[in-house]
A and B are shown apart, each in its own frame.
Chain A
Amino acid sequence: MGSMDNTAKRLLQRLVRRIPSQMLKTTLDKWSRLTAAQRQSMDYAESKWALTEKLLAICEENELTVKHIAELEMIHVIENPNLGMWYVFQLMDPQDDAHSVELTQFKEQFKSHLSELIRHVSIKIKKHTDEAVWIRIAWGDTFSRPNHLKPTYVVHYLQTPYVFLTSPTSKQKPLLSQALVLSTRYQAIKDANLSGRKLTAIRDLLMKQYLQVFPTKFPSPLAERNCVVSNLHIEKEQAGSAANRHQMACEAFGDGILPQLQSAVYKLETKFRDHTNKTMTERDEPFKCVVKFASTNLLESLRHSASSGVTSTPVTPLLSSVPLKGKNYFVITDNGPGPSSQMKPSQK
């Protein structure tokens, strides 16, 4: 009877399958649960199956448990944050001491609150170099032990109201929300309507970690930058309006390299508008449809479509709200601006 039970074995197998062989060595080194001799004995050119067997044997030798394998998984996820599906939540109404919550206090409070709310839960908290607090939660309930095969990861940047979660289920969400709200000293938490596969991209979008461009009356630096005409004999007739479009596109989306947001979804609940189609326009109920924009880098595509004149400038608030509000899910209704997730549709 070894220390590695079935769950631990399955978790290890899954991990070794997921981590590319080249990265396995560095990840295991960071884990530092293997002795130097054991690390030497690993041959990373072998098949994944052979590597798994080897590692299993080593883990048994060191009497490691599922908790240690969970550590290894956490290291891998922290190094590769762009492989999941992340959902952003925002904490609301800070109490007076919310801005002075520091790491130790947050860790203790979160662990104690969540353990109070749910009997069997396994929590690991790690502070990353970039000020992010990473939390791995394995959920159990009154009757069963924590399930390490379906963990939830939470990332929180202290001093900001933002929390990033992977796949929260509807049962776990209220408990998690409660624990987060209490330990951060806020009063509520809500869905921030921003999600994506790349954690770094949605974080950079939210915290505006890209080059912002502000409206200026004398954009002379831009005129110099636009002087890419190679030859005296080549003249651009409409250089002025091209520069204008570029300026407005950059004001809406930012300059330089933009965070790699990959989709934006608009849920329309507006009335059908087309004069040539009487049957549809006569209906009272809104015409419900969902419009999804997808791209390898949606913000750069939108910026390019504005600067090249494909979409009209000034950029419609429907599109510029993505970077301005840091959201990529919108519900559009015919009424005026309602709660923060609703917007007025454009006039066209």
Chain B
Amino acid sequence: MSLLKPFSKLPGLNTANILLVESEEQFQQSLADALVEETSVTVNVRLAKSLPLPMENDESRPRIDLVVFIINLTSELSFQSAEASLKYLDPGYFLGKVCFMVTNARNASSPAERLDAVRKLASSLHCPLLFAEDQTPDGVASATERLLTILKVAAGLVPIATALYVSNLTRCTLPLDIDQPSFD
């Protein structure tokens, strides 16, 4: 099985590479356009719908520092696709080089159970869970900023901080009453 491995290639100078995985292929495009605007570091963005990635690109693909799974909470397909893609990542990625980003958390058509399921998934994998608003430029900008913060650490560009250390601080934790029925 073709696992994506975190340390099998050499890093680039002052470069950070991020992989955005999104079943709907919408938000990832606007995030990518915003991410490459960063000036202090060269950011390369790879876009995918799901994992595994095609073997043809293995040679030319740079070392991926951070893998972001974008899940639209209004779509069950989006969640299932992200979940199914997880097994194509080498376990080494789950030491601070994977993060989950969800959209439409406040949308009335997103069932609460799905957010709980994503929380449980992120928490069991020790990954951070970010909430993003994808419809406005401000929402895209703030999501980009947060991703860049984590990306720079994951790419080893921040002195003293390592991905594993930061992930201990940022990882998703479950509220104690997550399995209680909510007031609706």
User: Which residues in A have their C-beta under 8 angstroms from that of B56?
Assistant: 240
- Tell me if B25 and A308 are in contact (CB < 8 A): yes
Known: A230-B33, A308-B25, A310-B77. A235 touches B44 (CB 8 A): yes
Chain-A contact segment, one of B46-54, B95-103, B132-140, B172-180 = B46-54
- Residues facing A in B27-52 (CB within 8 A) are 32-33, 36, 42-49
- Point out the residue from A231, A237, A240, A310 that lies within 8 Å of B48, measured CB to CB: A237
B83 in the interface (beta carbon within 8 A): no
- Point out the residue from A234, A238, A241, A308 that lies within 8 Å of B45, measured CB to CB: A234
A278 in the interface (beta carbon within 8 A): no
B137 to chain A, nearest CB (A): 16
- Tell me if A237 and B57 are in contact (CB < 8 A): yes
- Point out the residue from B24, B36, B61 that lies within 8 Å of A233, measured CB to CB: B36
Q: Mark A165-197, 1 if CB is under 8 A from B, else 0.
A: 000000000000000000000000000000000
> Please, how many residues of chain A have a CB less than 8 angstroms from a CB on the other chain?
14
Assign chain B's interface to a size class. Answer: 20 to 34
- Tell me if A235 and B46 are in contact (CB < 8 A): yes
User: Which residues in A have their C-beta under 8 angstroms from that of B53?
Assistant: 237-238
- Tell me if B47 and A234 are in contact (CB < 8 A): yes
- Tell me if A233 and B43 are in contact (CB < 8 A): yes
- Point out the residue from B24, B25, B32, B42 that lies within 8 Å of A234, measured CB to CB: B32
A236–B61 CA distance with the chains assembled, in angstroms: 11
- Residues facing A in B117-174 (CB within 8 A) are none
A35 to chain B, nearest CB (A): 57
- Tell me if B49 and A235 are in contact (CB < 8 A): no
- Tell me if B49 and A309 are in contact (CB < 8 A): yes
A231–B29 CA distance with the chains assembled, in angstroms: 11
A290 in the interface (beta carbon within 8 A): no
- Tell me if B42 and A237 are in contact (CB < 8 A): no
Q: Mark A231-274, 1 if CB is under 8 A from B, else 0.
A: 10111111011100000000000000000000000000000000
User: Which residues in A have their C-beta under 8 angstroms from that of B24?
Assistant: 308
A228 to chain B, nearest CB (A): 9
User: Which residues in B have their C-beta under 8 angstroms from that of A309?
Assistant: 23, 49
A226 to chain B, nearest CB (A): 12
Of all chain A residues, the one with the shortest Cβ separation from B42 is: A233
A233–B57 CA distance with the chains assembled, in angstroms: 15
Q: Mark A299-325, 1 if CB is under 8 A from B, else 0.
A: 000000000111000000000000000
A119 to chain B, nearest CB (A): 59
User: Which residues in A have their C-beta under 8 angstroms from that of B25?
Assistant: 242, 308
- Tell me if B46 and A231 are in contact (CB < 8 A): no
- Tell me if A235 and B54 are in contact (CB < 8 A): no
User: Which residues in A have their C-beta under 8 angstroms from that of B44?
Assistant: 233-235
- Tell me if A235 and B33 are in contact (CB < 8 A): no
User: Which residues in B have their C-beta under 8 angstroms from that of A242?
Assistant: 25, 49
A175–B77 CA distance with the chains assembled, in angstroms: 52
Residue among A235, A240, A309 with max Cβ neighbours from chain B (10 Å): A235
A242–B28 CA distance with the chains assembled, in angstroms: 15
- Tell me if A237 and B32 are in contact (CB < 8 A): no
Instruction: Jot down 25 A-B pairs with beta carbons below 8 A, ordered by A.
Output: A231-B32, A231-B33, A233-B36, A233-B44, A233-B45, A234-B33, A234-B36, A235-B46, A235-B47, A236-B48, A237-B19, A237-B53, A237-B54, A237-B57, A238-B48, A238-B49, A238-B53, A238-B54, A240-B54, A242-B25, A242-B49, A308-B24, A308-B25, A309-B23, A309-B49
In the complex, given contacts A230-B33, A237-B46, what are 12 additional A-B residue pairs having Cβ atoms less than 8 angstroms apart?
Answer: A233-B36, A233-B42, A233-B45, A234-B45, A234-B47, A235-B45, A236-B46, A236-B47, A237-B47, A238-B54, A242-B49, A308-B25
Top-6 shortest CB links A-B: A237-B48, A233-B36, A234-B32, A234-B45, A237-B53, A236-B47
